[in-house]
Structure 1
Amino acid sequence: MKVHQIKENCLYVSDLAKTRQFYEKLMGFELISFVEGRHVFFKAGSSVLLCFLPEVTKSETKLPPHFAYGQQHLAFEVDLKEYEVWKAYLKEQNISILHEQHWKDNLYSFYFHDPDQHVLEILPPGIWE
């Protein structure tokens, strides 16, 4: 058996409207589903980003309960030629770059927060290869 990819990633958020604004409008992710009072889902490349209200999903009965609190981390891969474009764009949107990390082969990634203070990272191909 072989796993092809991680298809979904979850973040647990406090405000669906702010989350939707950030990921759909600012990050440019395609909206898949919005259910007021429960979740907002996005298409991010070939993956899906699921954003839930933890107080709702921790008491699920149709699906296994799931929830988390605190700062979570996701990394988004972009083309190498787009790395600096993303960094400049986020700065223009008044999103602070928390840290830029130098990795092997002269590759870099940078970190920033979403509205729930989750730690997001932009990185080019090659860091995990």
Structure 2
Amino acid sequence: MTIKKIKETCLYVNDLKKCKAFYHNQLGFEVIGEVKDRHIFFRAGESVLLCFIAEASSKGGNLPPHFGAGQLHLAFEVSKADYPTWKEKIAKFSIPIEQEFDWGGGYLSFYFRDPDKHLLEVVMEGMWERK
């Protein structure tokens, strides 16, 4: 069996309004699902970003219970051509870039935080491709 990709990534957040303002209004992710006081789902390229209120999802319901805490990390892949535009977009909203890293081979990434202090990274396409 071969896994093609990670289809969904999940973050646990404290405030869905702040989450929506950040991921939808600032980063421009399309909202594809929302349940008041429980979760909001975003389209992130070909993947889906699921943002849950941990207390609500820990109770289960139609699906098994799940929850988490802490400052998690995830990376968004962009084309090399779009990388500078993403840095400008983040700066436009006064979101501090904590670090930019040169991975060698012409690949860069930069790190910033969402309202819940999750560490987000923008990476250039091709950085993790098989050689």
Relative to the length of structure 2, the TM-score reads: 0.95
Structure 1 residue identity aligned to 2:42: F
Q: Please give the alpha-carbon distance, in whole angstroms, between the structure 1 residues aligned to 2:40 and 2:90.
A: 22
The worse-fitting range, judged by mean Cα deviation, of 57-66 and 83-92 is 57-66
Moved over 3 A (4+): none
Relative to the length of structure 1, the TM-score reads: 0.96
Name the counterpart of 2:5: 5
In angstroms, what is the RMSD of aligned CA positions?
0.9
Name the counterpart of 2:110: 110
Q: What is the aligned-residue identity percentage? A: 50
Q: Count residues with an aligned counterpart.
A: 129
Q: Please give the alpha-carbon distance, in whole angstroms, between the structure 2 residues aligned to 1:86 and 1:30.
A: 16
2:79 paired with 1:74: no
Q: Which runs of 5 or more structure 1 residues have no equivalent in the other structure?
A: none
Q: Please give the alpha-carbon distance, in whole angstroms, between the structure 2 residues aligned to 1:20 and 1:97.
A: 20
Q: Secondary structure at the match of 2:63?
A: coil
Q: Which runs of 5 or more structure 2 residues have no equivalent in the other structure?
A: none
Name the counterpart of 2:38: 38
Name the counterpart of 2:128: 128
Q: Which has the higher helix share?
A: 1
